[in-house]
Amino acid sequence: MNFQNYRLEPNPNSPGDWIVFGDICDDAGNILGTFGENGTSVFGWWVLQDAQFQQNYSNQFAVIMAQEIVAGTAE
Amino acid sequence: MATYYLSTSTGSDTYNGLSATYTSGSTGPWKTLSKALGAAGMASGDILYVAPGNYNESVTIGFAPSAATQIIGDPNSQFFGGVTAGPVLISAFNAAGTSETVTSTLIIAASRSYFEWSNLYFKVSTGRAVSATNARYWKFTNCVLDCNTRASPVGVINLSSASGVALDATITRCRFAGGRYLLQLTGQNVSETTSITSCVFESAEEGIDINNLQVFVTNCSFISCDWAIYQRSGSVSFPSSVRNCLFLRCTQVQVTTTGQLTENFNRWTTATRNNIGTLGANSTTGGDGGIDSGYLLQTNGNYLQTYTPNLSSPNIAFGTATSSPATDLYGVTWSGASPDAGGITYRVITSLPSQVAYNGGIERNASTITIAPGSTSQSIEIYLGATGLTASTSGLSARYNRTRTASVSIPLVARTIAQAWTAGGFAEVDATNMPGVYRLDLPDAALAAGADDVTIVVRGASGTNGAVMTVKLSSGGLTEAQTAGAVWNAVRSSYATAGTFGEYVNTNVNTGAIADAVWDEARSGHTTAGTFGEYVNAELVTPVTSAALVRMGPFEVRADGLGASDPLDIQKGAQHGIDIQCVDNNGAGIDITSATVTAKVYNSGATLVDTYACTATYAADGRATFTIDTTVTNVPGTYTATITRSTSANDTQVFGPLRIYVRDI
C-alpha cells in the first residue's frame, strides 16, 4: 500500500487528536481511496470501530504507553 | 602514524599502549578506552587494536583527527597473547551482563571527524552507543549495534554534521538490533556521499532516521521495524536513494515530502510507503519474505547464515549491480548473477570463516597440520582472504623455517589448481566458492626428516596480512596406505618382544610355526566327529593298523615259475598279511622248517620294490605268512612277488611269481 500526499496535522478542534491527510494508492500510483479533503480524525475514526478492534490495538498501545511511563520520555 | 593496543584484561593505563603484551618497563597495552581515546592517548592517523573483553565505559573523545583514525577490534585475539578470543564489547552492561552500569552514551564526540570503527560489538539499553556532533567522515565496518529495548535510545548511533558541511559517513556490513531509532543521521541538505551498505536493521521503532541528509541505502535488510526508514526534513535537490533492499515485517517507510527519497529494486512485501510516490519499475510488493530464520538449522538441513535467503527465495538476484556492493554483510559474494534484495545472501556454512577485517586486510590465526617427515610433493591450502592473488602478485612472498633454523625462501611458481605439484607452486583454489583460499606446493626440503616442525608464511600482498601455517613433522601424519605399508613391510623378526603382537605373530602365525603346529600335533587329540582329524584317524590310520586282521590266502606259490596261483587285489595304501604255501609241481607242500623264507616284490618294471621276511605258520607243509606294507601299496600298479626258500647257500628255491594288483578301489 502506498500513500501519496500523506501528512498528519493536529486537530485544532480536539487537542490530542490528529488528522490524517492523503491518498491511498496502489503500486502504480493509482488512487484507491483517500482520507478526504479535510482529512480523517484519528479519534473520530477510532470510536467508529468495533469493540474487538479497539481492544486489540489498545493492548498493543498499552505496551508503548508503559515504555513511555517508565522512560519518562516521548519523541 | 602509530599503532596502539588496548586490553581490558591484561593492560594498564600506566603503560604506553605500544605493545599488545607487556614486555618490560612501561611497554604494554592500555587498559581503558578512556585512556586510548582521551587527550593523552592515541592521535590523528593512529591505529588502535582492541583486545577481546568488555569495555564498560562512557568515553568523551579528547582529540580531533584530521586523517583516518582507526579503532579496530581483534576478536580473534591475534595480537594479544594470553587473551582468549571473544567479542570486543563496548558495553553499557557489566561483564556478567546482569546490570546496566552505564546509562549515558558510550562514545561521545563533538567536532571529531575521521573516526573509523570496525569489528566492535556495542551493547546499550538506555544510552546511545555513539553520538558524534559536528562530525564528518565517520565509518563503521563490520560492527554490531545491539540494544535490549525498543523504547530507547533515540539513535543507537547518532551522527550529525556541522552547519553547511556534508556528513559523508560510511556504514558498511553492520547489524543493528533493538532501540528506538537505530541509526539517526542529520545533515545539512548538501550533496553527500553518506552510504549505508549491506546492513541489517531489525526490531526497532525506526531503522534509519534521516534529517536534512542525502543518504544512499543499498542492499540492506529491514526486519520488524515500525518505520524502516523515516526521511524527515530534507531537500528534493539532494534526494536519498534506496536500492536492493528488503523490507520484512515492517509497518512502513515514511517520507515527509514526495521526491526526498527515490527507490528501485526493492522488495517491500507488506510495508506501506508514505509519500514515496510510484514504485520504481523493478520494485515489488507482497510475496514471501524469503529468508530463513533457522528452519533449516532446526531440521538439520543446512547450516546457513542468519537471515539467509531460502534457496528459491525471490530475494536472490533481485537487485541491480549498478552502484551496489559485490558482497553481503558477511563479505560473501552474492549467490546469484546480481545482488540480492537485502543485506545477506544465501550461503551454507560448514566452517564459517572469520569476517574480521584488519585495516583492510584479513589475517588468519596460525594453524597446524601434520605431515609425515620425509614426505615429498606435498601441497597445503592456506587462507589469505583476498582473491585474485597469483605467484607474480606484487609483494607476495613465501618462506619456511624448520625448528631452530633460519628461514628459507619459497620462490612462487604460477600454477592452476589442477596442475601437478612443483616446488613453490601457487594456485587460487576457487575464487567464487572458496574465496581467499590458495594452494601452496611445499619444497621437499621443508618436510625432510630431522626437524620437529616447519612453519610456512605467505605474506606481503595488498589486501591480505598473510597466512601462517605450522606443519608438524610426525608419522602421525601417515596416509592410510603409508600406515599399511609401514606395518606389513616391516621385518617380522625385528618385532618379537615378549608380550607384543609381534611376538605372537612370530610364534604362532609365521609359515614354519603353522606347519609345525599342524604336523607335530598329536593325532589322538583331534578326533572330533566331522573334522578332518576324525577322517585321518578313521580312514587313513585305523585301516592300516587293523590291516593285520585281514587275511588272504592261502595262495599256492609254485616253484615252477608259472604263476599258476590267482592274483591278489590289494587296496592302495593298505597293509595286508598274506598267507602263502610253497608247493612242488604236484601241489605238495615243501618243508620250510629251518629255512629262511623271504618274499620279494617287483613292480611292473621288474625293479625290486621291497623284501619281506616270511614267518612259518606250518613249516612242514610249506605254509608261511608275510605282511605287505605301504612301501608297495602306496603306488597303485601291477606287482609280482616271488618267495625264496633258502636253507644254505647251496639250497635255494624260488617259488612264484605271485601276481599282485594294487588299486585305488
DSSP letters for B96-130: TSS-B---S-SEEEES---EEEES-EEEESSS-SE
Q: How confident is the model at residue B220 (pLDDT cuts 50, 70, 90)?
A: very high
Of B149, B154, B278, which has the smallest distance from its Cβ to A29's Cβ?
B278
Mean pLDDT check: name the lowest of B314-328, B408-422, B453-467, B535-549.
Answer: B535-549
Contact A2 B272 (CB under 8 A): yes
**Residues B315, B295: Cα–Cα separation, whole Å:** 17
CB-based contact B210:B232 (threshold 8 Å): yes
Structure confidence at residue B524 (pLDDT): 81
B180 touches chain A (CB under 8 A): yes
Q: Which residues on chain A are in Cβ contact (under 8 Å) with B284?
A: 27
Q: How far is B103 from chain A (nearest CA, A)?
A: 12
Structure confidence at residue B364 (pLDDT): 54
Domains B365-473 and B555-663 share a fold: yes
CB-based contact B655:B643 (threshold 8 Å): yes
Q: How far is A51 from chain B (nearest CA, A)?
A: 23
**Residues B477, B470: Cα–Cα separation, whole Å:** 13
Instruction: Give mean pLDDT, residues B456-467.
Output: 83
Q: How confident is the model at residue B548 (pLDDT cuts 50, 70, 90)?
A: very low
Of B150, B151, B274, which has the smallest distance from its Cβ to A6's Cβ?
B274
Query: Closest Cα partner for B206 from B237, B238, B174, B184?
Result: B184
CA torsion, ordered B191, B197, B203, B206, to nearest 10 deg: 10
Query: Closest Cα partner for B467 from B361, B557, B612, B391?
Result: B361
B261 touches chain A (CB under 8 A): no
Q: Which residues on chain A are in Cβ contact (under 8 Å) with B272?
A: 1-3
The CATH T-level fold of domain B555-663 is Immunoglobulin-like (2.60.40)
Of A3, A28, A70, which has the smallest distance from its Cβ to B274's Cβ?
A3
Peptide bond into B325 cis (omega under 30): no
- Rounded to the nearest integer, the mean pLDDT of chain B is 88
Of B150, B154, B272, which has the smallest distance from its Cβ to A3's Cβ?
B272
Asked whether the CA dihedral B291, B293, B297, B300 is positive or negative, the reply is negative
Mean pLDDT check: name the lowest of B236-250, B371-385, B406-420, B556-570.
Answer: B556-570
DSSP state of B201: E
**Top-ranked range on mean pLDDT: pick from A17-31, B99-113, B389-403, B580-594:** B99-113
Q: Phi/psi of residue B643, each to 5°?
A: -110, 125
Structure confidence at residue B544 (pLDDT): 41
Three cell numbers, residue B332: 560473501
**Residues B571, B137: Cα–Cα separation, whole Å:** 113
Q: Which residues on chain B are in Cβ contact (under 8 Å) with A6?
A: 274-275
Contact B152 A71 (CB under 8 A): yes
Of B180, B273, B285, which has the smallest distance from its Cβ to A3's Cβ?
B273
Contact A75 B278 (CB under 8 A): no
| Residue B380: strand, helix, or coil | strand
CA torsion, ordered B73, B78, B80, B82, to nearest 10 deg: 130
* Percent of chain B with pLDDT strictly greater than 70: 91
Query: Closest Cα partner for B246 from B175, B344, B346, B341?
Result: B341
Q: How confident is the model at residue B539 (pLDDT cuts 50, 70, 90)?
A: low
| Helix runs in B312-405, H state only | none
Residue type, B530: G
Q: Which residues on chain B are in Cβ contact (under 8 Å) with A5?
A: 258, 275
In what helix (H) or strand (E) does residue B513 lie, and over which residues does it extend?
A: helix B511-519
Structure confidence at residue B543 (pLDDT): 43
Q: How confident is the model at residue B478 (pLDDT cuts 50, 70, 90)?
A: low
Disruptive mutation site among B149, B256, B278, B283 for chain A (greatest number of A CBs within 10 Å):
B278
Q: How far is A2 from chain B (nearest CA, A)?
A: 5
B258 touches chain A (CB under 8 A): yes
Q: How confident is the model at residue B363 (pLDDT cuts 50, 70, 90)?
A: very low
Q: How far is B279 from chain A (nearest CA, A)?
A: 6
Contact B274 A70 (CB under 8 A): no
B224 touches chain A (CB under 8 A): no
Does residue B123 have a pLDDT over 90?
yes
- Give the angle B111-B114-B120 at the CA atoms, nearest 5°: 105
* Percent of chain B with pLDDT strictly greater than 90: 57
pLDDT digit string (tens) for B605-621?
889 999 999 999 889 98
CB burial of A24-57 (b: ≥16 within 10 Å; e: otherwise) equals: ebeeeeeeeebbeeebebbeeeeeeeeeeeeeee
Contact A27 B285 (CB under 8 A): yes
**Residues B615, B621: Cα–Cα separation, whole Å:** 13
Q: How far is A48 from chain B (nearest CA, A)?
A: 23
B150 touches chain A (CB under 8 A): yes
B251 touches chain A (CB under 8 A): no
- Rounded to the nearest integer, the mean pLDDT of chain A is 88
Give domain limits for chain B: 1-58+72-97, 59-71+98-285, 365-473, 555-663
Inter-chain contacts counted by CB atoms under 8 A, chains A and B: 44
Structure confidence at residue B38 (pLDDT): 97
**Residues B56, B83: Cα–Cα separation, whole Å:** 17
Residue type, B629: D
Decide which of B480 and B102 is more confident. Answer: B102
Contact A67 B149 (CB under 8 A): yes
Mean pLDDT check: name the lowest of A4-13, B2-11, B404-413, B515-524.
Answer: B515-524
Q: Which residues on chain B are in Cβ contact (under 8 Å) with A22?
A: 274-275
Contact B258 A27 (CB under 8 A): no
Structure confidence at residue B456 (pLDDT): 93
B151 touches chain A (CB under 8 A): yes
Mean pLDDT check: name the lowest of B155-159, B361-365, B493-497, B529-533.
Answer: B361-365
Three cell numbers, residue B140: 563503521
Asked whether the CA dihedral B610, B616, B617, B620 is positive or negative, the reply is positive
Nearest residue of chain B to residue A30 (CA atoms)? B278
Residue B131 CB coordination number (10 Å): 22
Of A5, A28, A67, which has the smallest distance from its Cβ to B278's Cβ?
A28
The CATH T-level fold of domain B365-473 is Immunoglobulin-like (2.60.40)
Nearest residue of chain A to residue B271 (CA atoms)? A1
Contact B277 A73 (CB under 8 A): no
Query: Closest Cα partner for B570 from B633, B658, B659?
Result: B633
Q: How confident is the model at residue B489 (pLDDT cuts 50, 70, 90)?
A: confident
CB-based contact B135:B159 (threshold 8 Å): yes
Q: Which residues on chain B are in Cβ contact (under 8 Å) with A27?
A: 278-279, 283-285
Structure confidence at residue A74 (pLDDT): 53
Q: Which residues on chain B are in Cβ contact (under 8 Å) with A75?
A: 154, 180
CB burial of B197-225 (b: ≥16 within 10 Å; e: otherwise) equals: bbbbbbbbbbbbbbbbbbbebbbbbbbbb
Does residue B374 have a pLDDT over 70?
yes
Q: Which residues on chain A are in Cβ contact (under 8 Å) with B256?
A: 7
CB-based contact B116:B68 (threshold 8 Å): yes
Query: Closest Cα partner for B627 from B546, B539, B540?
Result: B546
Does residue B61 have a pLDDT over 60?
yes
| Residue A59: strand, helix, or coil | helix
Residue type, B365: N
**Residues B532, B548: Cα–Cα separation, whole Å:** 25
Residue with cell 587494536: B49
Nearest residue of chain A to residue B281 (CA atoms)? A28
Instruction: Report long-range pairs for B453-456 (Cβ below 8 Å, ≥24 apart).
Output: B453/B368, B453/B402, B453/B403, B454/B400, B454/B401, B454/B402, B454/B403, B455/B366, B455/B400, B455/B401, B456/B380, B456/B382, B456/B398, B456/B399, B456/B400, B456/B410
DSSP letter string, B531-564: SHHHHIIIIIIHHHHHGGG-EEEEEEEETTSS--
**Residues B653, B585: Cα–Cα separation, whole Å:** 13
Q: How confident is the model at residue B361 (pLDDT cuts 50, 70, 90)?
A: very low
Nearest residue of chain A to residue B206 (CA atoms)? A75
Instruction: Report long-range pairs for B81-84 (Cβ below 8 Å, ≥24 apart).
Output: B81/B20, B81/B21, B82/B10, B82/B21, B83/B7, B83/B9, B83/B10, B83/B51, B83/B52, B83/B53, B84/B52
B211 touches chain A (CB under 8 A): no
Of A3, A70, A75, which has the smallest distance from its Cβ to B275's Cβ?
A3
Does residue B492 have a pLDDT over 50?
yes
Does this model's pTM top 0.80? My answer is no
Contact B278 A5 (CB under 8 A): no
DSSP state of B505: I
B154 touches chain A (CB under 8 A): yes
Decide which of B567 and B232 is more confident. Answer: B232
B67 touches chain A (CB under 8 A): no
CB-based contact B231:B258 (threshold 8 Å): no
Q: How far is B275 from chain A (nearest CA, A)?
A: 5
Interface of A with B (CB under 8 A): 1-7, 22, 27-29, 67-68, 70-71, 73, 75
Asked whether the CA dihedral B447, B449, B454, B459 is positive or negative, the reply is negative
Decide which of B303 and B194 is more confident. Answer: B194
Instruction: Give mean pLDDT, residues A11-39.
Output: 91
**Residues B545, B575: Cα–Cα separation, whole Å:** 8
B634 touches chain A (CB under 8 A): no
**Residues B157, B415: Cα–Cα separation, whole Å:** 47
Nearest residue of chain A to residue B276 (CA atoms)? A4
Contact B274 A5 (CB under 8 A): no
Residue with cell 502506498: A2
Q: Which residues on chain A are in Cβ contact (under 8 Å) with B180?
A: 75
B274 touches chain A (CB under 8 A): yes
For residue B181, give every residue at least 6 positions away whose Cβ sits within 8 Å of its Cβ, in sequence order, or none.
B153, B154, B155, B156, B204, B205, B206, B209
